[in-house]
Amino acid sequence: MFQHVEAYPGDPILSLNEAFGKDPRPDKINLSIGIYFDDAGKIPMLPSVRAAEHKVVAEAGARPYLPMEGAANFRTAVQQLLFGADNAAVKAGRVVTIQTVGSSGGLKVGGDFIKRYFPTSTMLISDPSWDNHRAVFEGSGLSVKTYPYYDAATGGLRFDAMLEALKQAEKKSVVLLHACCHNPTGVDLTKAQWQQLVPVLRERELLPFLDLAYQGYVDGIVEDAYAVRLLADAGLSFFVANSFSKSMSLYGERCGALSIVCPDAAQAVNVLGQMKATIRRNYSNPPLHGGQLVARVLSDPELRTMWEAEVVAMRDRIQAMRRKLHEVLSAKLPGRDFSYFLTQRGMFSYTGLSPEQCDRLKEEFGVYLVRSGRMCVAGLNTGNVEATANAMAAVLG
């Protein structure tokens, strides 16, 4: 019956993480998956989230199905987090927010919606982008192409080429943009570049789809929502998928949302209705528990203050690791420029290591990086950063 089912070659990120789990070497180092580990190499349980969980569990009663669009308190809290409490588009009823199964769930139902209502639109993703973007949108039946983004020569952004490509894009193309903490490169647009992008998006009638999976990991919770608020203030219609996996260390709870900013409140009502239909066709309704932890942290003033400080601490620790890695590598290989570790932002850096060099790192040194050369800087800690730098120097040298 299943002879025609071919073997799964594996996922470049998740399968590598599985391989790491099976590696018996005690000194192995996991810089593969986009997960924040603390300085002891553990996934933290944030005290704010733990306190929220105590309260939520103490108050929990029956477990009904959530509505298709998710819990109202979660959706309202997410809107305020992304758009700000006084946002004009939110107040005008133009923003639809649905709770999704992680932000991947938001990409998926967004992709299905786009396929249904913009069937001839092409999905444009950055070159490179998160490995799963292409898979998710192709899975929705969309045609996926790339626009220029990363400049391998400088470790920076090919902004002019990006802008030019978007100026040539077919009208109503959907443009996937990383709102902050670009995955996999760590190369973000500056505020001025976002501002330059807006007229191009408007004139070409492009439909932006922001992916905001790392809010708080670059400059701050509000600062990292800059692109969301800029596009909303510019009066554009767009999508934004966001996640609490990293910012609240709630990976397995799959807490995400998809917001759609619409031209007016009447269209927003219909968009919400069709998003509900899309969710019903995919998984009926989202899970209850994790979203309630998020809603509690965001809406309880004391927990909110705790959480904001926790995000700062995670961000500062990553920055310290960037500086340390840069320092050790620059001392070991004095002729080389490792400044990209300092200029690239957020959880990831694109090391420029070849797939073969990544294979050597894994096989000889037990240091796991995605074969594209992406390093999750949040996997470094004071106990493994020097060993990582030594291993990198060995394969580079």
Examine residue 181 and tell whether it contacts ligand LMR (CB under 6 A).
no
Smallest separation, CB 117 to ligand LMR (Å):
27
Helices and strands, counts by H and E, the chain: 15, 13
Examine residue 183 and tell whether it contacts ligand LMR (CB under 6 A).
yes
Q: Which of 112, 130, 224, 324 is catalytic?
A: 130
Smallest separation, CB 11 to ligand LMR (Å):
8
Q: Note if 28 is an active site residue.
A: no
Examine residue 255 and tell whether it contacts ligand LMR (CB under 6 A).
no
Nearer to ligand LMR, 155 or 379 (CB): 379
Smallest separation, CB 315 to ligand LMR (Å):
17
Angle ∠(51,54,57) on CA atoms, nearest 5:
145
Smallest separation, CB 213 to ligand LMR (Å):
6
Angle ∠(198,83,121) on CA atoms, nearest 5:
45
Q: Which of 108, 246, 276, 324 is catalytic?
A: 246
Three-class DSSP category at 3: coil
Tokens at residue 343, please?
A: 């200029």
Smallest separation, CB 13 to ligand LMR (Å):
4
Smallest separation, CB 264 to ligand LMR (Å):
34
- In whole angstroms, give the CA distance from residue 201 to residue 193: 12
Q: Which residues contact 236 (CB under 8 A, 6 or more apart)?
A: 198, 201, 202, 208, 261
State the number of binding residues for ligand LMR (CB under 6 A): 6
Nearer to ligand LMR, 69 or 224 (CB): 224
Examine residue 212 and tell whether it contacts ligand LMR (CB under 6 A).
no
Strands 374-376 and 348-350, sheet pairing: antiparallel
Smallest separation, CB 132 to ligand LMR (Å):
6
Examine residue 262 and tell whether it contacts ligand LMR (CB under 6 A).
no
Tokens at residue 9, please?
A: 């070659």
Smallest separation, CB 344 to ligand LMR (Å):
15
Examine residue 291 and tell whether it contacts ligand LMR (CB under 6 A).
no
Nearer to ligand LMR, 103 or 357 (CB): 103
Q: Note if 307 is an active site residue.
A: no
- In whole angstroms, give the CA distance from residue 321 to residue 330: 14
Examine residue 241 and tell whether it contacts ligand LMR (CB under 6 A).
no
Residue among 42, 72, 98, 39 at smallest CA distance from 280: 98
Binding string, 4-33, against ligand LMR, x = CB under 6 A? ---------x-------------------x
Examine residue 244 and tell whether it contacts ligand LMR (CB under 6 A).
no
- In whole angstroms, give the CA distance from residue 213 to residue 96: 18
Contact 214, 245 (CB under 8 A): no
Q: Note if 130 is an active site residue.
A: yes
Binding string, 97-136, against ligand LMR, x = CB under 6 A? ---------------------------------x-x----
Nearer to ligand LMR, 34 or 128 (CB): 34
Tokens at residue 27, please?
A: 């000194």
Nearer to ligand LMR, 102 or 286 (CB): 102
**Dihedral, CA atoms, 358, 363, 366, 369, nearest 10 degrees?**
20
Question: What does the DSSP assignment read for 75-142?
Answer: HHHHHHHHH-TT-HHHHTT-EEEEEEEHHHHHHHHHHHHHHHHSTTPEEEEEES--HHHHHHHHHTT-
Examine residue 318 and tell whether it contacts ligand LMR (CB under 6 A).
no
Examine residue 175 and tell whether it contacts ligand LMR (CB under 6 A).
no
The H or E element containing residue 256 is: strand 255-261
Examine residue 34 and tell whether it contacts ligand LMR (CB under 6 A).
yes
Q: Which residues contact 78 (CB under 8 A, 6 or more apart)?
A: 97, 99, 242, 257, 259, 294, 298
Examine residue 358 and tell whether it contacts ligand LMR (CB under 6 A).
no
251 phi/psi in degrees, rounded to 5: -50, -55
Binding site for ligand LMR (CB under 6 A): 13, 33-34, 130, 132, 183
Report the catalytic residues: 130, 211, 246
